[in-house]
Chains A and B, each alone.
Chain A
Amino acid sequence: MAERVILRASDVSWCSSGEKESGVILDRCSVDIRQGDWISLIGPNGSGKSTLLQVLSGNRGFCRNSFSGEIRWQDSEWTKLHSRERATRIAYVSSEFNSVFPLKVIEVVESGAFASGDLRNVHAAVSFCDLGALINRGMDSLSSGERQRVALARALVQGAEVLFLDEAFSNMDLDYQLELGARLKGLVDGSKDSPFLLSAVVLVSHDFSLCLRWANRAWVIHRGKTISSGPIKEALSEHVLRVIYPKASPYLLFQK
């Protein structure tokens, strides 16, 4: 089955500003995202997972001193698109999400519509993330798991086709991790009665059971290199797991 490729990144490298030698964070990563994909992005701390997602989503900019490689979104050159156009295609959700200023939940969710100006899906996003009772609460009165649900709702309002969830479930309780994950999976699989058109999800998580639960494919990154990518069973081979998690791999193999 040859699904449509949405995003293809070839030889993407990134180094922190101007330090070509010492500051290399991503080293010629090549990955792609297809229609209907749920991709688990797996790697040790500091291996470059967040950087990869931020670079792919365009959040780090494409300054020549730091970035090299090619990224294509379907037929267009990704790096040439306006930041607003990129935001309606990819939404990046990070694990930490708070403000030092007084903000209500509903105000935050609505700010997701910055690029599209389309507020029609705010209500649907609020109920998707079960935030109905919280919309008039201040962000600083929420728990970190609740804030992560707000972050997800905002990303849905953004209307992006691809969601990058960078440990975006890490502080949610187990029920919400499973429930919201399952709802997103339903969207990716093409649920009819939803206003959200979601084509693919890339999930970063250190919870291995969560990584395996919905994913059909995996990217494995180690010291800035994509050492393996493809269908999840093949990408997470015994050899790969031993490389990235020398100590934990016996337990993971058992779980798999």
Chain B
Amino acid sequence: MKKALLFILIASLVLTSGFAQGTKEQAKGEKEIVILVKNMGNGFFDAVYRGSQEAAGQIGGMKTVYMGPPQPTAEGQIEIIETLIAQRVDGIAISANDADALIPVAKKAMAAGIKVISFDSGINVGGRIVDLVPSNEELIGRQQIQLAAELTGHKGDIAVLSASAQATNQNSWISWMKEEIKDPKYANMRLVEVVYGDDLPDKSYREANSLMQKYPNLKAIICPTTVGLLATAQAVKDAGKTGVVEVTGLGLPSEMKGYILDGTCRQMALWNPVDLGYTSTYILNGLIDGSVKGNVGDTFPAGRMGSVKVEANGMIVMSTPFVFNKDNIEEYAAIF
């Protein structure tokens, strides 16, 4: 038994040291910021970090570090923030796995003098100074229905394949999709069901298959998540339903290039994650300098993005999603 316990102890030590290790090799006077993402290994966040590096290079005297838990959980992010408080970094930009669970630890970080903002998937008021929204949630949701309508000629059954049932941003987009489809111009379209693939390829693939099985008149599947979109495109292609069941949603150009070129997913949308990381970094820079407080009505300079303005509840809206299709996919696939 002793042997077994020792074994587990060693195993857990190996694991925690592998994942939670942060390095602190900051030169005096240099600003250090952390881009804390939902989980490691997500192409979208890799692009966010690239934008942050670009901005840090332009600002100068700033070091940006990329971190995230191995699994997309709030617990993992809380652990990392605790470590960052101990390391006394200057700023953290977070894409949150839970809008409320991170508030206490984020408050602790702010009390320790760290500037905390959220981006992409926000933290509720009280847990961050400002929240950078990639686009207006209303515009994203409405645009998804518009994209599906264009593909299906404004008629037929459509379904939504989302991430997890409690994902903050997906749920808000879906509620706007439900608003948009009430418009009389979609009278011949019906949103039949919302299913959840939990951002796992195998589960999403299976759910996409059941949708096709369950609704013989299905004309389109909307996937407002990159993992779900990839798996759905593969499932539709495997079922031989390319052109019968249209696929659209929010996807990464490099991952979706093949499916866009072969016609499985003829168009999809996404804001530019590079710009998101870039703008977050400029916002943190303003806050760390103390040149902008982040109060409602304040304006942050944001390099090539011009400037962004703080609105009610500390929200900052960046831009409207960009539509990718076979004409522009090659160009963007090379970037992210």
Asked if A and B are interacting partners, one says no
Residues of B within 8 A of A (CB): none
